[in-house]
Chain A
Amino acid sequence: MTAALSPYAQTMGFVATRDDEDRIILLMDFDDDKSGRPGFIHGGALAGLLETTAYMTVIEVVGEGPRLKPINCTMTYMRAGVEKRTYARATIERLGKRIANVEVIAWQEDPNKPIAMAQINVLIDRAVQPASENLRP
C-alpha cells in the first residue's frame, strides 16, 4: 500500500510504483507541463518529483498519522533531463522522532547516472494540530 498522491502530485501526473526490492519509485512522463527550456525538463518540476518521492517514502515508514512539514530541499542538478520518462527513489538517511533526513535521486536511463539529486529534511509532527498549520506533500 502506497500513500495517496496529493492534488499537486496528481496535477503533475506522478505515478507511484515499486522496484524489485519493494522500494517506492515515482515516475514522471515528459510532456509540455514539465518542460523548461525547449527540449528539457524544468528544474522546478524535477524538484517537485523528488520532494514528493521523499514525502511518500517517509509516510510509508511513519504511517498516515503524523503530519509531515517540509523544512528544506537542496537540489543538485547533474545532467540535463531530456524528453523522456524520469524515475525517482528516496533513501531515508536517518529517521528520528521529529526529523527525517532524506536523499533522493532522479534518473532517466540508468540509476547510476542520476540527472539530479536532492537532500531533503522533513519535520514529522506527531501532535494533532489544526489543519491550517499543517503541510502535507
Chain B
Amino acid sequence: MLDLPLGADPTVFVRLALARGHCQLLNLSLSHYGDDWCELTMPYAARLAGDTESGIIASGPIFALLDMASGMSIGFANGALKPRVTLDLRVDYLRPAKPGSAIIGRSHCYRRTKSVAFVRGFAHDGDAERPVAQMAGTFMFIEDTPETEQP
C-alpha cells in the first residue's frame, strides 16, 4: 500500500486535494486542523441552493463538505494519506443554514483500527454551539490499486 506522508507542512497536500474535482466546485478550503481533526469552510453560493426563493443551501453540499472533512481528519490522524473509501456516512440536518453565510464542517477521527476509521463531526454557519448538521461515519483503508469493487 502506498502511504503518502503528509510531510513538514501537511496543509500543502490538503490544499492540493481541495483545489480539484467536486471540492473545487464547492470551493472548499482548509480553515483549521489538529492532530486528529480538521475544519473545512464552504463559502455561500446561490448556485448551491436547494430552492431559488429561500436561497437556503441544499443538503447535498453540506453532506459533501462533511464527507471531505471526514477524510481529511483521518489523514491528519494517520499523519499520512492512506487510500480509503467511505463505508457509510450519516448526516442529520438540524436546521437550515443561513443564506449568505459560509458553512464550516468539522470532523474528528476518534478511532482507527488496521482497516477502519471512525469519525464524527458537525457543520455550523457561524456559531459552533448551534450546528446546522451532525455527522457520523466510517471509512475503510484500501489498497491503492485501480479497482471497481470495494473490499
Q: Please, which residues of chain A bring their CB within 8 A of the CB of B61?
A: 8, 44, 48
A17 interface residue, CB < 8 Å from B?
A: no
Contact residue among A43, A73, A132 (Cβ-Cβ distance under 8 Å from B59): A73
Q: Please, which residues of chain B bring their CB within 8 A of the CB of A126?
A: none
Total B residues in contact with A, Cβ cutoff 8 Å: 44
State whether A77 and B92 are in contact (beta carbons under 8 Å apart), knowing that A6-B49, A51-B59 are contacts in the complex: no
Contact residue among A6, A32, A39, A132 (Cβ-Cβ distance under 8 Å from B58): A6
Chain A, range 98-133, C-beta contacts under 8 Å to B: 131-133
Q: Is the CB of B63 within 8 A of A47?
A: yes
Chain A, range 33-87, C-beta contacts under 8 Å to B: 33-37, 39, 42-45, 47-49, 51-52, 69-80, 82
Bound-state Cα–Cα, A44 to B87, Å: 13
Bound-state Cα–Cα, A33 to B47, Å: 13
Q: Is the CB of B63 within 8 A of A44?
A: yes
Q: Please, which residues of chain B bring their CB within 8 A of the CB of A36?
A: 21-22
B127 interface residue, CB < 8 Å from A?
A: no
Q: Is the CB of B54 within 8 A of A8?
A: no
Q: Which residue of A lies closest to B28 (CB)?
A: A44
Bound-state Cα–Cα, A70 to B87, Å: 22
B20 interface residue, CB < 8 Å from A?
A: yes
State whether A8 and B50 are in contact (beta carbons under 8 Å apart), knowing that A48-B64, A51-B60, A51-B63 are contacts in the complex: yes
Q: Please, which residues of chain B bring their CB within 8 A of the CB of A7?
A: 46-52, 58
Q: Please, which residues of chain A bring their CB within 8 A of the CB of B65?
A: 44
Q: Which residue of B lies closest to A134 (CB)?
A: B54
B128 interface residue, CB < 8 Å from A?
A: no
State whether A136 and B54 are in contact (beta carbons under 8 Å apart), knowing that A32-B21, A72-B92 are contacts in the complex: yes
State whether A44 and B60 are in contact (beta carbons under 8 Å apart), knowing that A7-B49, A36-B22 are contacts in the complex: yes
Contact residue among A6, A34, A133 (Cβ-Cβ distance under 8 Å from B50): A6
Q: Please, which residues of chain A bring their CB within 8 A of the CB of B49?
A: 6-8
Q: Taking the nearest CB of chain A, how far is it from the CB of B8, in angstroms?
A: 23
- In the complex, the 4 A-B pairs of residues with the closest C-beta atoms, listed nearest first: A44-B64, A48-B60, A136-B51, A8-B58
List residues of chain A with CB under 8 Å of any chain B CB: 6-12, 32-37, 39, 42-45, 47-49, 51-52, 69-80, 82, 131-137
